[in-house]
Amino acid sequence: MAHGAWTERLLAGAACVPAAVAAVRLPPLASVALLGLILLVTVTALTRSHRRLVSSLREAAAS
């Protein structure tokens, strides 16, 4: 049922890798700002996939 959400989940997880590498190399304030941006993008992507999944489940239940 959740096969459509895997793309967003993998992309959100993959976005954390460059953030971790950059956090080691950047000054503390810049790494916190970068981490905040990465987390914002991750939350947005996962929220979008969750809404799409809930919509699909509701349509399937209505049928």
What is the per-residue pLDDT across 17-63, written as a single tens digit (0 to 9) for each?
Answer: 877 787 788 888 887 888 788 888 888 888 888 888 888 888 888 87
Res. 2 pLDDT band, cuts 50 70 90: low
Q: Which of helix, strand or coil describes residue 1? A: coil
Helix (H) or strand (E) holding 56: helix 28-62
pTM (2 d.p.): 0.57
Q: Which tokens belong to 1?
A: 């049922």
Whole-number Å distance between alpha carbons of 7 and 26: 29
